[in-house]
Structures are given as structure tokens and as C-alpha cells.
Amino acid sequence: MLISSCQASAQSPFKLPDLGTSALQALPIEKEQALGNVMMMQIRSGSPLLQDPVLDEYLTSLGNRLVANANDVRFPFTFFWINNPAINAFAFYGGHVGVHSGLIAQSDNESQFASVLGHEIAHVTQRHLARRIQKAQDNSALTIAGMIAGVLATVVAPDAGMAIIAANSTQAALSQLTHSRKAEQEADRFGMQTLHAAGFDATQSAEFLSKLAAQTRFKNKPPVFLLTHPLPDSRISDVRLRAQQYSPIRLMESTKFQLAKSRVLARNQYKSEDAQAFFERELKHSSKLDNRALQYGLALSLLDQDKYLLAENIILKLLSNEPDNLFYLDAYTDILIGQEKAVEAVKLLQEKHEFRPNNQVITLNFANAAIEAKQYNKAAQLLKIFLLDKPEHTLAIDLLSKVYKEQGNKSAYHETKASLLAQYGAYIQAADEIQRALNNVKKQETVKASRLKALLSQYRQMQKELAKL
């Protein structure tokens, strides 16, 4: 089943937008999406993506809640994590929104975290990057390669982006690497509207910007977010005045936000031993009756040090009150696998999967547990069905390749590896894997051989498209 989904996606090679004509007045939606897909490939291949189904589930749910309440949404959005402790988030062509793990670690509440996402969504819906293409063309020649390099350097590695400006201080380069004051004002305004419409406290937009401004006061180097999102005093004042249009909302503390934050602190901000000390200290001094997130963070820090029994004691208590909590189920699966009880994990997740068959956290944990339990057919079936709905899910593709390797299915293994490489834009290597798959096709499998040859041709065509950059 995975093979057919991969084949379908490969039958429509992307076409890079032609930015060479001065007659281009705006970037058409379909070309913006194609450009966004190319940039996403570049990010996958060169950035520390955080592939965590639990955090992905939380971020996507929160992001989609905001998108559902935004204006001028023209296409589906994609949200993803970058494993980076800096406070940063960025959006680019085609509705792709990247979030640094440090952003949630430094947010005091979910409204603050959501305010930054709403701001980035507004950059996309108001087509600030698409408008920037036209402005850059008015100043100088613009190539896709230069545009991608400039935007990616800034949003993913801002120091490199600033170096590009230093090396090439043309107006076009400067325009490529920073949002204008007008664009920031628009994103602030529309982002705040979206935040309010989605049921969050819009006044937290101003609180978060003030927090960022306070961090710059005694530092020579500003937070990463401010390198591409300028923060003059007038902007803070403007956001504060606009926030006064909305009444503060007293929201119950979001448990999912707190759990996601604890997960990031435990696994991405601290070393495991330091995380354990942090959570033990916080629990000791916490006055909150509900300290589930702190207990969860402590359990993760113990799990990551292979202290399985200590971690299990905490997670089982948490699960007793919330047996379907995805954060806890994910941790408990890892604990059972660490204790070499993968069969027990399979039984647990089999039951959960029957009630939530489309949930990525349950499905991927189930498949991973099945692999550890050497139940390869079960794992393959789960992953094939999952990939019909999410054919570009790199973690699922990687797991399926492991299944085929364990089964000794060389043809399927190499084809699946090719699919994974294609997600990173590595079409030459993907074509090599398809050739290896062809080498392992039996003589009587003529239909399969024909399909693989067609796929080989498509990957080579995709490489030619990339070579145009």
C-alpha cells in the first residue's frame, strides 16, 4: 500500500516557479506551494528537525485551531519543530510554519506560545513573502536559489543570515532576510485577531513581546526571533494599545501545553541528569496542587537515563487517572521496550489503536513496539495504512524500511529508502535505491518492474527540476 502512495506522489513532479520575468505581479498560489515544498526539502536535509509524534500532535492541533480562525487561508498549513533552544518561529511559502523548541520552553502559557504561531500564520495569509518577491525584482535580479538560501539561512540559522547581509548589503538581500515594519504591524494585527477568535488571551501577545524586549536590555545579541522580526519600541507600544481592544481572558492552564513544555525541557533544553535535578527541585518548591507536568518531566528524565523502574512508578500513577493520555502512553511504551517487554506494549497499544486507529502517536508507538517484538507483519500493516493518509511522514517511512530489512524483502526495502530520500530532495540517491530495488525484482514480477522503472524515470526528472536552481 505504501508503494502505491509513493508512486502517486511521484507521478506529479513539482515544477519550479519561473521568477525570471518582470511581468510577474504576484506569486500564484500553486507556485507558492511548489516553492514551499522545495524549501521544506532543504530544511529536512539540512536542519535538526525534531521528529517527535507527541509534540507533532500537540503543535499541529494548536496550529490548526489558529488556522481555522484566521482570515484569507488559501491552503492547508504544515507545522513542524526545529530542535534549537533559541526563541524563534518562522513561516515560509505554502503555509509551512517552523517552531524552535526553545519557543515553548520560554513561553509562560499557551496564549503566549499561540500568539507567535498566530503572528507567523498572518505572515503567510497576508502573503508577505510573496509580495517580497515582487519588491526584490524591482530592485535586482532574483533567482530561486538566492531566495531559498537567504530565507533558509535566516529562519533556520539567523547568524548565517546576518552574515549574508554583511557580505552582500544590497537592498534585495536585506529585503529577503527581514520582515518590514509594515509587514510586522500587519502580522501583529491579524495574528492578534486570530488569537482572540481561537479563544486565547490576545493580551498575551504584548506580554510575550515585552518579555523578548526585556531579554535584549542587557545583552549584546538579541533573541533569534528579533533578527527577522524587528522590535522597535513603537511596535511594542502599538501591540499594547491594540491588545487593550480585547478583554483579558482567564483561561484554565492548558495541561497539554504544560506537558509539551516539560517534554521539551526534559529532552531538548537540558541534559538528562540536569533535567532530573530541575524537575525534582521544581516539585519540591511547587505550591500547585496539579503538578502532573513536573512529574511527567521527571519521569522522562529518568527514562532517558535508563532508570526504568523509577520512571514507571511515576507514569503508572499518571496513567491511572488518565489512561488515554498520549504523553503518558508514549512514555510508558518506551519504558516497556526498555525493560524488554515489547510484547506487553503491543497488547496495550492494540487496545488503544482499536479506539483511535488514525492517531499518529498510538499508531507509530504500536508499530515500533511490534518491530521490537519481532511482529513484523503487524508493523508493516500498521505503517502501510498510516502512510496512505500521510505519505510524506518521514518517521513512518523510516520505520517501514526497518521492517522490510528485518523481513529480508530487499526490493521493498530499497524502494522505501528511495521514498525517504525523496523527502529530503536527494533524488540522485533515491534513483540509485530504485535501481537496487529493480536488481532484486524476480523475473516473473513484470508489473512491479515496470512500475519501478517508471518511478526511476520520475526521480531523475525531479532531479533535473532541482538542478535548475
Active site residue: 188, 304, 312, 334, which one?
188
Active site residue: 56, 110, 120, 415, which one?
120
Annotated binding-site members = 119, 123, 184
Strand ranges in 125-278 using DSSP code E only, listed in sequence order: none
Whether 432 is a known active-site residue: answer: no
Q: C-alpha cell of 389? A: 493518509
Tell me if 50 sits within 8 A of 101, measured CB to CB: yes
Q: How, if at all, do strands 89-92 and 78-82 pair?
A: unpaired
b/e map 414-424, b = 16+ CB within 10 Å: bbbbbbbbbbb
Q: C-alpha cell of 104? A: 515553548
Q: How far apart are CA 1 and CA 23, in angstroms?
A: 44
- Which one-letter amino acid corresponds to residue 322? E
* CB atoms inside a 10 Å sphere around CB 282: 17
Annotated binding-site members for Zn(2+) = 119, 123, 184
Q: C-alpha cell of 86? A: 533559541
Whether 188 is a known active-site residue: answer: yes
Task: Tell me which residue has cell 506529479.
Answer: 12
- Report the 3 state secondary structure along 351-394: HHHHHCCCCHHHHHHHHHHHHHCCCHHHHHHHHHHHHHHCCCCH
- Catalytic (active-site) positions: 120, 188
